Amino acid sequence: MSQRPQAVPTVQVDNAEVIVTEWRFAPGAETGRHRHGYDYVVVPMTNGTLLLETPEGDKHAPLVAGQSYFRKAGVEHNVINASDHEVVFVETEIK
């Protein structure tokens, strides 16, 4: 099994209220398995498809540029770019 490249996070804001992170994924790049400690909003900057490896099984999630979505704290997954091009989104975690 080959090692996947790592997605690149760039924290833009980290204060008492929020953490705002830009995530850049090369094709096939992953975040690694993690659990979200805060509610969060994702704003896709590009179109694409994510593969989510979750405790309940694998899921594919389409990204549409500018179409935001919200998730509650406690989500556990590994996020992988299943597209053949770079995918970028901005994640805002609400403390």
For the segment 20-57, what is each residue's pLDDT rounded down to a tens digit? 999 999 999 999 999 999 999 999 999 999 999 999 99
Q: Does the pLDDT of residue 91 top 90, yes or no? A: yes
pLDDT value for 65: 98
Cβ 23 vs Cβ 88: under 8 Å: yes
59 pLDDT exceeds 80? yes
The structure's pTM equals 0.95
Q: Please tell me the number of Cα atoms within 13 Å of 86 on its side-chain side.
A: 10
Range of the domain at 42: 8-94
Question: What's 19's DSSP letter?
Answer: E
Q: Is residue 39 part of a domain?
A: yes
3 in any annotated domain: no
Whether 1 is covered by a domain: the verdict is no
* Residue 60 forms part of a structural domain: yes
Domain presence at residue 14? yes
CATH number at residue 90: 2.60.120.10
Domain assignment present for 2: no
CA distance 49 to 92: 20
